[in-house]
Amino acid sequence: MHNSKRYCLLTVPVFLCSMFFCSGLFDDSTNLGAAIIENIDSNRVTISKHIREYVMDHSAVVDSFSLPGVNDTGFGVHAATNGYMVVGRLGNEQAAGYVQFICPPDTASSRTFASNDNLRKIIVRFSRNITIDTNTLPCRIEVWSSNNRSRALYPNPASGDSLLDTMQFVKAPQDSNNTATIPDSIELLPGLANDIFKACTTSTRGSSAKIFGFIAANIDTGLIRLNGNPQLIVEYTRGSDTTNKRYQTYSSWYTSYYLATDGAPDSLRRIPALSYASKRTAVFQYDATTLWATINGMANSQHAQVISAVFPLKGPRDKDTIKVRYLLLSYLENNGADLDSLFAANPSLPGVITIINTSRVLANVHQSLQNFSQNGRPSALYLYVRFDEDLNQKWNQTVWQNVPLLSAMIAVP
Protein backbone atom coordinates (compact mmCIF):
# COMPACT_ATOMS: atom_id res chain seq x y z
CA MET A 1 0.00 0.00 0.00
CA HIS A 2 2.88 2.26 0.78
CA ASN A 3 4.39 1.61 -2.66
CA SER A 4 1.04 2.25 -4.28
CA LYS A 5 0.85 5.73 -2.79
CA ARG A 6 4.36 6.46 -3.92
CA TYR A 7 3.54 5.47 -7.49
CA CYS A 8 0.43 7.63 -7.44
CA LEU A 9 2.42 10.56 -6.16
CA LEU A 10 4.79 10.15 -9.08
CA THR A 11 2.24 9.35 -11.75
CA VAL A 12 -0.36 12.00 -11.04
CA PRO A 13 1.95 14.99 -11.47
CA VAL A 14 3.32 13.52 -14.67
CA PHE A 15 -0.22 13.05 -16.02
CA LEU A 16 -1.13 16.57 -15.02
CA CYS A 17 1.96 17.94 -16.75
CA SER A 18 1.10 15.95 -19.87
CA MET A 19 -2.41 17.32 -19.91
CA PHE A 20 -1.02 20.79 -19.42
CA PHE A 21 1.36 20.48 -22.35
CA CYS A 22 -1.29 18.80 -24.51
CA SER A 23 -3.82 21.45 -23.73
CA GLY A 24 -4.73 24.18 -26.15
CA LEU A 25 -2.40 26.57 -24.38
CA PHE A 26 0.34 25.79 -26.84
CA ASP A 27 0.34 26.05 -30.58
CA ASP A 28 1.41 23.35 -32.95
CA SER A 29 2.18 25.71 -35.80
CA THR A 30 2.10 29.39 -36.58
CA ASN A 31 1.41 31.74 -39.42
CA LEU A 32 3.65 34.42 -37.93
CA GLY A 33 7.06 35.22 -39.34
CA ALA A 34 6.21 35.02 -43.03
CA ALA A 35 8.65 37.83 -43.83
CA ILE A 36 11.45 36.00 -42.04
CA ILE A 37 10.86 32.75 -43.87
CA GLU A 38 10.65 34.53 -47.18
CA ASN A 39 13.84 36.41 -46.40
CA ILE A 40 15.90 33.23 -46.10
CA ASP A 41 15.87 32.46 -49.77
CA SER A 42 13.16 33.98 -51.88
CA ASN A 43 14.14 31.59 -54.65
CA ARG A 44 13.13 28.72 -52.43
CA VAL A 45 10.17 30.02 -50.48
CA THR A 46 7.83 32.79 -51.43
CA ILE A 47 4.93 33.12 -49.06
CA SER A 48 3.00 35.84 -50.78
CA LYS A 49 3.53 34.93 -54.42
CA HIS A 50 3.95 31.22 -54.28
CA ILE A 51 0.65 30.41 -55.97
CA ARG A 52 -0.81 32.10 -59.00
CA GLU A 53 -4.29 31.58 -60.35
CA TYR A 54 -5.17 31.28 -63.98
CA VAL A 55 -8.75 31.55 -65.14
CA MET A 56 -9.38 31.20 -68.83
CA ASP A 57 -11.76 33.57 -70.53
CA HIS A 58 -13.74 33.06 -73.70
CA SER A 59 -11.11 34.75 -75.82
CA ALA A 60 -8.94 31.65 -75.37
CA VAL A 61 -11.58 29.41 -76.96
CA VAL A 62 -10.49 28.87 -80.54
CA ASP A 63 -13.08 26.39 -81.71
CA SER A 64 -15.61 23.83 -80.60
CA PHE A 65 -16.67 20.95 -82.80
CA SER A 66 -17.17 17.21 -82.75
CA LEU A 67 -15.46 14.17 -84.15
CA PRO A 68 -17.56 11.50 -85.87
CA GLY A 69 -16.91 7.79 -86.12
CA VAL A 70 -14.37 8.00 -88.88
CA ASN A 71 -12.89 4.97 -90.63
CA ASP A 72 -15.62 2.83 -89.12
CA THR A 73 -13.09 1.54 -86.68
CA GLY A 74 -13.49 2.01 -83.02
CA PHE A 75 -16.17 4.64 -83.26
CA GLY A 76 -19.66 3.53 -82.58
CA VAL A 77 -18.78 -0.11 -82.10
CA HIS A 78 -20.42 -1.68 -79.10
CA ALA A 79 -19.64 -5.24 -78.15
CA ALA A 80 -22.75 -7.27 -77.45
CA THR A 81 -21.14 -9.03 -74.55
CA ASN A 82 -23.25 -6.96 -72.18
CA GLY A 83 -26.25 -8.85 -73.42
CA TYR A 84 -27.91 -6.93 -76.19
CA MET A 85 -27.56 -5.41 -79.64
CA VAL A 86 -29.32 -2.31 -80.80
CA VAL A 87 -30.57 -2.21 -84.33
CA GLY A 88 -32.42 0.62 -85.95
CA ARG A 89 -32.56 4.34 -86.50
CA LEU A 90 -32.99 7.32 -84.24
CA GLY A 91 -32.70 10.77 -85.68
CA ASN A 92 -29.64 10.89 -87.82
CA GLU A 93 -28.10 7.84 -86.22
CA GLN A 94 -28.55 4.29 -87.34
CA ALA A 95 -27.25 1.03 -85.97
CA ALA A 96 -26.70 -2.43 -87.40
CA GLY A 97 -25.76 -5.64 -85.68
CA TYR A 98 -23.15 -8.10 -86.79
CA VAL A 99 -23.20 -11.72 -85.69
CA GLN A 100 -20.50 -14.25 -86.36
CA PHE A 101 -20.59 -18.01 -85.86
CA ILE A 102 -17.56 -20.24 -85.89
CA CYS A 103 -17.52 -23.88 -86.92
CA PRO A 104 -14.51 -25.47 -85.20
CA PRO A 105 -11.66 -26.96 -87.23
CA ASP A 106 -11.32 -30.66 -88.09
CA THR A 107 -9.16 -31.36 -85.09
CA ALA A 108 -12.04 -30.66 -82.76
CA SER A 109 -14.46 -33.43 -82.03
CA SER A 110 -17.47 -31.55 -80.73
CA ARG A 111 -20.29 -29.83 -82.51
CA THR A 112 -19.68 -31.50 -85.83
CA PHE A 113 -21.85 -33.53 -88.13
CA ALA A 114 -21.27 -37.03 -89.33
CA SER A 115 -21.34 -37.96 -92.99
CA ASN A 116 -24.68 -39.74 -92.55
CA ASP A 117 -26.36 -36.70 -90.94
CA ASN A 118 -29.11 -35.06 -92.96
CA LEU A 119 -29.79 -31.35 -92.75
CA ARG A 120 -33.36 -30.27 -92.16
CA LYS A 121 -32.91 -26.50 -91.69
CA ILE A 122 -30.73 -23.84 -90.11
CA ILE A 123 -32.10 -20.83 -88.27
CA VAL A 124 -30.46 -17.74 -86.86
CA ARG A 125 -32.04 -16.73 -83.57
CA PHE A 126 -31.24 -13.19 -82.63
CA SER A 127 -32.91 -13.13 -79.24
CA ARG A 128 -35.62 -14.61 -77.17
CA ASN A 129 -36.95 -11.23 -76.03
CA ILE A 130 -36.91 -8.26 -78.26
CA THR A 131 -37.43 -4.83 -76.76
CA ILE A 132 -39.07 -2.48 -79.15
CA ASP A 133 -40.02 1.10 -78.81
CA THR A 134 -43.71 0.56 -79.51
CA ASN A 135 -43.95 3.95 -81.12
CA THR A 136 -41.79 2.67 -83.90
CA LEU A 137 -43.82 -0.39 -84.74
CA PRO A 138 -44.30 -1.81 -87.20
CA CYS A 139 -40.71 -2.09 -88.25
CA ARG A 140 -38.69 -4.52 -90.29
CA ILE A 141 -35.26 -6.00 -89.88
CA GLU A 142 -33.26 -7.25 -92.79
CA VAL A 143 -30.89 -10.11 -92.28
CA TRP A 144 -27.94 -10.32 -94.62
CA SER A 145 -25.37 -12.99 -95.05
CA SER A 146 -22.05 -11.30 -94.82
CA ASN A 147 -18.44 -11.97 -95.58
CA ASN A 148 -16.14 -12.25 -92.59
CA ARG A 149 -15.45 -8.89 -91.05
CA SER A 150 -13.33 -7.83 -88.14
CA ARG A 151 -15.80 -5.06 -87.43
CA ALA A 152 -19.45 -4.71 -88.22
CA LEU A 153 -20.36 -2.83 -91.37
CA TYR A 154 -23.60 -2.11 -93.02
CA PRO A 155 -24.72 -4.63 -95.58
CA ASN A 156 -22.94 -4.03 -98.81
CA PRO A 157 -23.76 -6.24 -101.80
CA ALA A 158 -20.55 -5.12 -103.48
CA SER A 159 -18.66 -6.77 -100.62
CA GLY A 160 -20.50 -10.01 -101.09
CA ASP A 161 -23.31 -9.44 -98.61
CA SER A 162 -26.59 -10.97 -99.68
CA LEU A 163 -30.03 -10.39 -98.30
CA LEU A 164 -31.47 -13.48 -96.69
CA ASP A 165 -34.81 -12.35 -95.46
CA THR A 166 -36.75 -9.61 -93.80
CA MET A 167 -38.29 -10.14 -90.39
CA GLN A 168 -41.23 -7.91 -89.83
CA PHE A 169 -42.25 -6.92 -86.33
CA VAL A 170 -45.77 -5.78 -85.69
CA LYS A 171 -47.31 -4.45 -82.54
CA ALA A 172 -48.62 -7.37 -80.56
CA PRO A 173 -51.74 -7.04 -78.37
CA GLN A 174 -49.94 -8.25 -75.25
CA ASP A 175 -47.19 -5.76 -75.80
CA SER A 176 -48.08 -3.47 -72.89
CA ASN A 177 -44.57 -3.47 -71.43
CA ASN A 178 -42.84 -2.79 -74.70
CA THR A 179 -41.76 -6.42 -74.76
CA ALA A 180 -42.93 -8.52 -77.63
CA THR A 181 -42.75 -12.28 -77.93
CA ILE A 182 -42.75 -12.14 -81.65
CA PRO A 183 -40.77 -14.05 -84.21
CA ASP A 184 -37.15 -13.61 -83.35
CA SER A 185 -35.44 -15.97 -85.71
CA ILE A 186 -34.98 -16.44 -89.39
CA GLU A 187 -34.54 -19.63 -91.39
CA LEU A 188 -31.68 -19.60 -93.83
CA LEU A 189 -32.29 -20.29 -97.48
CA PRO A 190 -31.46 -23.89 -98.48
CA GLY A 191 -28.40 -22.97 -100.49
CA LEU A 192 -26.62 -21.16 -97.65
CA ALA A 193 -27.84 -23.71 -95.11
CA ASN A 194 -26.32 -26.54 -97.15
CA ASP A 195 -23.03 -24.68 -97.47
CA ILE A 196 -22.82 -24.24 -93.71
CA PHE A 197 -23.80 -27.83 -92.99
CA LYS A 198 -21.30 -29.16 -95.47
CA ALA A 199 -18.53 -27.01 -94.05
CA CYS A 200 -19.24 -28.34 -90.62
CA THR A 201 -19.43 -32.00 -91.54
CA THR A 202 -16.50 -34.15 -90.46
CA SER A 203 -15.64 -35.59 -93.82
CA THR A 204 -15.67 -32.31 -95.70
CA ARG A 205 -14.58 -29.57 -93.32
CA GLY A 206 -11.00 -28.43 -93.38
CA SER A 207 -8.34 -28.01 -90.77
CA SER A 208 -9.27 -24.40 -90.18
CA ALA A 209 -12.37 -22.99 -88.53
CA LYS A 210 -15.21 -21.85 -90.74
CA ILE A 211 -16.76 -18.50 -90.02
CA PHE A 212 -20.22 -17.37 -91.04
CA GLY A 213 -21.33 -13.80 -90.55
CA PHE A 214 -24.75 -12.15 -90.59
CA ILE A 215 -25.82 -8.57 -90.45
CA ALA A 216 -29.09 -7.35 -89.00
CA ALA A 217 -30.25 -3.94 -90.07
CA ASN A 218 -33.44 -1.97 -89.60
CA ILE A 219 -34.93 -0.53 -92.69
CA ASP A 220 -37.54 1.51 -90.83
CA THR A 221 -37.36 4.26 -88.25
CA GLY A 222 -37.12 3.14 -84.66
CA LEU A 223 -34.88 1.16 -82.38
CA ILE A 224 -35.03 -2.53 -81.58
CA ARG A 225 -32.97 -4.02 -78.85
CA LEU A 226 -32.11 -7.65 -79.50
CA ASN A 227 -31.59 -9.11 -76.07
CA GLY A 228 -29.63 -12.22 -75.33
CA ASN A 229 -26.98 -14.17 -77.09
CA PRO A 230 -27.47 -14.70 -80.85
CA GLN A 231 -27.38 -18.35 -81.87
CA LEU A 232 -27.10 -20.43 -85.04
CA ILE A 233 -29.25 -23.54 -84.65
CA VAL A 234 -28.86 -26.48 -87.01
CA GLU A 235 -31.73 -28.99 -87.15
CA TYR A 236 -30.82 -32.40 -88.60
CA THR A 237 -31.50 -36.12 -88.48
CA ARG A 238 -29.02 -38.98 -88.33
CA GLY A 239 -28.85 -41.94 -90.72
CA SER A 240 -32.08 -43.70 -91.50
CA ASP A 241 -33.84 -42.23 -88.49
CA THR A 242 -35.75 -39.40 -90.06
CA THR A 243 -38.22 -38.89 -87.25
CA ASN A 244 -35.95 -37.86 -84.35
CA LYS A 245 -34.80 -34.33 -84.92
CA ARG A 246 -31.40 -33.38 -83.63
CA TYR A 247 -30.10 -29.86 -82.93
CA GLN A 248 -26.65 -28.32 -82.88
CA THR A 249 -26.29 -24.74 -81.53
CA TYR A 250 -23.45 -22.35 -82.24
CA SER A 251 -23.08 -19.32 -79.97
CA SER A 252 -21.80 -15.91 -80.99
CA TRP A 253 -21.13 -14.66 -77.49
CA TYR A 254 -17.78 -13.05 -78.21
CA THR A 255 -18.28 -12.31 -81.88
CA SER A 256 -21.29 -10.06 -82.05
CA TYR A 257 -21.27 -6.31 -82.22
CA TYR A 258 -23.52 -3.52 -83.16
CA LEU A 259 -22.31 -0.41 -84.84
CA ALA A 260 -23.91 2.99 -84.79
CA THR A 261 -23.10 5.86 -87.05
CA ASP A 262 -24.54 9.27 -87.69
CA GLY A 263 -23.29 9.55 -91.24
CA ALA A 264 -20.92 12.33 -90.18
CA PRO A 265 -22.85 15.23 -91.61
CA ASP A 266 -21.04 18.53 -91.65
CA SER A 267 -23.78 20.13 -89.57
CA LEU A 268 -22.84 17.87 -86.68
CA ARG A 269 -19.12 18.29 -87.17
CA ARG A 270 -19.39 22.03 -86.60
CA ILE A 271 -20.95 21.75 -83.15
CA PRO A 272 -19.70 20.10 -79.95
CA ALA A 273 -22.11 17.19 -80.12
CA LEU A 274 -21.91 14.02 -78.08
CA SER A 275 -23.54 10.73 -78.83
CA TYR A 276 -23.49 7.54 -76.86
CA ALA A 277 -24.38 5.29 -79.79
CA SER A 278 -22.02 6.58 -82.44
CA LYS A 279 -19.48 7.74 -79.84
CA ARG A 280 -19.34 11.16 -81.36
CA THR A 281 -16.89 13.18 -79.29
CA ALA A 282 -17.12 16.87 -78.53
CA VAL A 283 -13.86 18.74 -78.89
CA PHE A 284 -12.95 22.15 -77.51
CA GLN A 285 -9.84 23.85 -78.80
CA TYR A 286 -8.09 26.47 -76.67
CA ASP A 287 -5.27 28.91 -77.17
CA ALA A 288 -2.85 28.13 -74.33
CA THR A 289 -0.45 31.01 -74.85
CA THR A 290 -2.02 33.10 -72.09
CA LEU A 291 -1.69 30.21 -69.67
CA TRP A 292 2.01 29.81 -70.36
CA ALA A 293 2.48 33.57 -70.30
CA THR A 294 1.00 33.59 -66.80
CA ILE A 295 3.46 30.94 -65.70
CA ASN A 296 6.39 32.61 -67.42
CA GLY A 297 5.56 35.80 -65.58
CA MET A 298 6.16 34.14 -62.25
CA ALA A 299 9.52 34.05 -60.49
CA ASN A 300 11.28 30.70 -60.91
CA SER A 301 8.84 29.87 -63.67
CA GLN A 302 11.01 26.98 -64.81
CA HIS A 303 10.14 25.28 -61.53
CA ALA A 304 6.43 26.07 -61.73
CA GLN A 305 4.11 23.21 -60.97
CA VAL A 306 0.45 23.00 -61.85
CA ILE A 307 -1.01 21.78 -58.57
CA SER A 308 -4.65 22.04 -59.52
CA ALA A 309 -6.45 22.48 -62.83
CA VAL A 310 -10.07 21.89 -63.67
CA PHE A 311 -12.59 22.33 -66.42
CA PRO A 312 -16.00 22.94 -64.85
CA LEU A 313 -18.42 20.79 -66.83
CA LYS A 314 -22.05 21.73 -66.49
CA GLY A 315 -24.60 19.11 -67.37
CA PRO A 316 -26.30 19.90 -70.66
CA ARG A 317 -29.63 18.39 -69.71
CA ASP A 318 -32.18 19.34 -67.14
CA LYS A 319 -33.31 15.95 -66.00
CA ASP A 320 -30.84 13.30 -66.97
CA THR A 321 -27.78 12.08 -65.20
CA ILE A 322 -24.97 11.63 -67.65
CA LYS A 323 -21.59 10.06 -67.33
CA VAL A 324 -18.83 11.49 -69.47
CA ARG A 325 -15.19 10.74 -70.05
CA TYR A 326 -12.77 13.53 -70.82
CA LEU A 327 -9.22 13.83 -72.07
CA LEU A 328 -6.87 16.77 -72.53
CA LEU A 329 -4.39 16.61 -75.40
CA SER A 330 -2.01 19.04 -77.00
CA TYR A 331 -3.02 18.07 -80.53
CA LEU A 332 -6.07 17.24 -82.60
CA GLU A 333 -6.54 13.50 -82.93
CA ASN A 334 -8.73 12.84 -85.97
CA ASN A 335 -8.21 9.12 -86.07
CA GLY A 336 -11.01 7.49 -84.19
CA ALA A 337 -9.13 4.33 -83.38
CA ASP A 338 -6.17 6.27 -81.98
CA LEU A 339 -8.45 8.46 -79.94
CA ASP A 340 -10.16 5.35 -78.61
CA SER A 341 -6.76 4.04 -77.60
CA LEU A 342 -5.88 7.28 -75.85
CA PHE A 343 -9.11 7.20 -73.91
CA ALA A 344 -8.62 3.59 -72.97
CA ALA A 345 -4.86 3.25 -72.63
CA ASN A 346 -4.05 5.51 -69.74
CA PRO A 347 -6.82 5.64 -67.21
CA SER A 348 -4.94 8.19 -65.10
CA LEU A 349 -5.00 10.88 -67.77
CA PRO A 350 -8.63 11.00 -68.82
CA GLY A 351 -11.20 11.12 -66.10
CA VAL A 352 -14.73 9.88 -65.75
CA ILE A 353 -17.28 12.05 -64.04
CA THR A 354 -21.00 11.85 -63.49
CA ILE A 355 -23.04 14.98 -63.91
CA ILE A 356 -26.47 15.11 -62.37
CA ASN A 357 -28.91 17.27 -64.24
CA THR A 358 -27.34 20.65 -64.83
CA SER A 359 -24.98 20.51 -61.87
CA ARG A 360 -21.42 21.74 -62.21
CA VAL A 361 -18.75 19.08 -61.93
CA LEU A 362 -15.02 19.68 -62.09
CA ALA A 363 -13.01 17.73 -64.62
CA ASN A 364 -9.55 17.43 -63.14
CA VAL A 365 -6.71 17.88 -65.65
CA HIS A 366 -3.83 19.05 -63.48
CA GLN A 367 -1.68 16.04 -64.26
CA SER A 368 -2.04 16.47 -68.01
CA LEU A 369 -1.42 20.18 -67.77
CA GLN A 370 1.67 19.64 -65.62
CA ASN A 371 3.00 17.24 -68.26
CA PHE A 372 2.47 19.88 -70.93
CA SER A 373 4.11 22.51 -68.72
CA GLN A 374 7.22 20.41 -68.42
CA ASN A 375 7.26 19.21 -72.01
CA GLY A 376 7.15 21.98 -74.51
CA ARG A 377 4.19 24.04 -73.34
CA PRO A 378 2.11 23.60 -76.50
CA SER A 379 0.28 26.61 -77.89
CA ALA A 380 -3.00 24.74 -78.29
CA LEU A 381 -4.96 22.47 -75.98
CA TYR A 382 -7.81 20.17 -76.95
CA LEU A 383 -10.41 18.94 -74.50
CA TYR A 384 -12.26 15.82 -75.66
CA VAL A 385 -15.57 14.91 -74.02
CA ARG A 386 -17.62 11.82 -74.83
CA PHE A 387 -20.29 9.78 -73.15
CA ASP A 388 -18.85 7.01 -71.06
CA GLU A 389 -21.99 5.07 -70.33
CA ASP A 390 -25.63 5.32 -71.26
CA LEU A 391 -26.97 5.58 -67.72
CA ASN A 392 -30.50 6.24 -68.86
CA GLN A 393 -30.56 3.60 -71.63
CA LYS A 394 -31.91 6.25 -73.97
CA TRP A 395 -29.21 6.39 -76.57
CA ASN A 396 -28.05 9.79 -75.40
CA GLN A 397 -27.34 12.52 -77.85
CA THR A 398 -26.61 16.08 -76.87
CA VAL A 399 -24.86 19.25 -77.86
CA TRP A 400 -22.58 20.77 -75.24
CA GLN A 401 -23.78 24.36 -75.18
CA ASN A 402 -21.52 25.69 -72.42
CA VAL A 403 -17.90 25.73 -73.43
CA PRO A 404 -15.89 24.70 -70.37
CA LEU A 405 -13.15 27.15 -69.36
CA LEU A 406 -9.98 26.14 -67.59
CA SER A 407 -9.10 27.24 -64.05
CA ALA A 408 -5.66 26.42 -62.75
CA MET A 409 -3.47 27.03 -59.73
CA ILE A 410 0.27 27.13 -60.28
CA ALA A 411 2.84 26.94 -57.50
CA VAL A 412 6.43 28.08 -57.65
CA PRO A 413 9.03 27.65 -54.92
Partner 1 sequence: MAMTIQQNFCIAVAWVCFAGASLCHAQSVLSVQYPGGLPLAHSTGPSLSMGGAGTGVRNDFFGMADNVANLGGMNRAVFSAATSFDFLTVKEENAAATFFALSPRLFSFAFHISPVGTFGFSLDQRTSMRLKFVNDTTITLSDGTSVTDSIGFADQGGLSSWQAGWGRAIGRWAFVGVSYERMYLSSEDITLYGADLGGGMARYDSTHYLFRGNALRAGILVPVRKWMFGMSGEYVFAGDAERTVRSTMTTSNENTKFSLSLPPSLSFGASYAFSPSWMAAASPGITLWQSYRSPVKLGDHVDNALSFAAGLQYIPAPNLLVPRYWEIMQYRVGFRYGELPVVTGSEFAFTVGIGLPLLRGGGLIDCIAEYGSRSDSRFANHSENFLHLFIGINGGRKWSQNTGIRY
Kindly list the residues in this chain that would bind partner 1 in the complex (CB under 8 A). Answer: 3-4, 7, 10-11, 14-15, 17-22, 25-37, 39-41, 44-45, 47, 50-51, 53, 55, 303, 305, 307-310, 312, 351, 362, 364, 366-367, 374, 405, 407-409, 411, 413
Indicate the helix (H) or strand (E) that contains 200.
none
How would you class 19 by CB atoms within 10 Å of its CB: exposed for 0-12, middle for 13-18, buried for 19 or more?
Answer: exposed
Give min distance, CB of 32 to partner 1, in A. 4
Between CA 381 and CA 365 the distance in angstroms is 11
CB of 352 to partner 1, least distance (A): 12
d(CA 153, CA 168): 22
Q: Compare residues 196 and 365 and give the one whose CB is closer to partner 1.
A: 365
Closer to partner 1 by CB, 289 or 308: give it.
308
Q: Which is nearer to partner 1, 69 or 351 (CB)?
A: 351
Provide the minimum distance between the beta carbon of 99 and partner 1 in the complex, in angstroms, as a whole number. Answer: 42
Task: Report how far residue 167's alpha carbon sits from residue 218's, in angstroms, rounded to the nearest whole number.
Answer: 10
Least Å distance between CB 44 and partner 1? Answer: 7
The DSSP-derived string for 163-192 is EEEEEEE---TT-TTSEE----EEEPPHHH
Rg (CA), the chain: 32
Torsion, Cα of 218, 223, 227, 231 (10° steps): 0
From the CB of 296, what's the least distance to partner 1, in Å? Answer: 16
**Which residue's CB is nearer to partner 1, number 1 or number 158?**
1
Bridge partner list, 224: 87, 132
Nearest approach, Cβ of 215 to partner 1 (angstroms)?
Answer: 44
Name the minimum Å distance from CB 16 to partner 1: 9
Q: Which is nearer to partner 1, 185 or 371 (CB)?
A: 371
Q: Which is nearer to partner 1, 312 or 376 (CB)?
A: 312
Q: List phi, psi (to 5°) of 5.
A: -65, -40
Cβ nearer to partner 1, comparing 231 with 373: 373
Q: Is 311 helix (H, G, I), strand (E, B) or coil?
A: strand
Q: Where are the alpha helices (DSSP H) in 125-274?
A: 190-199, 266-269
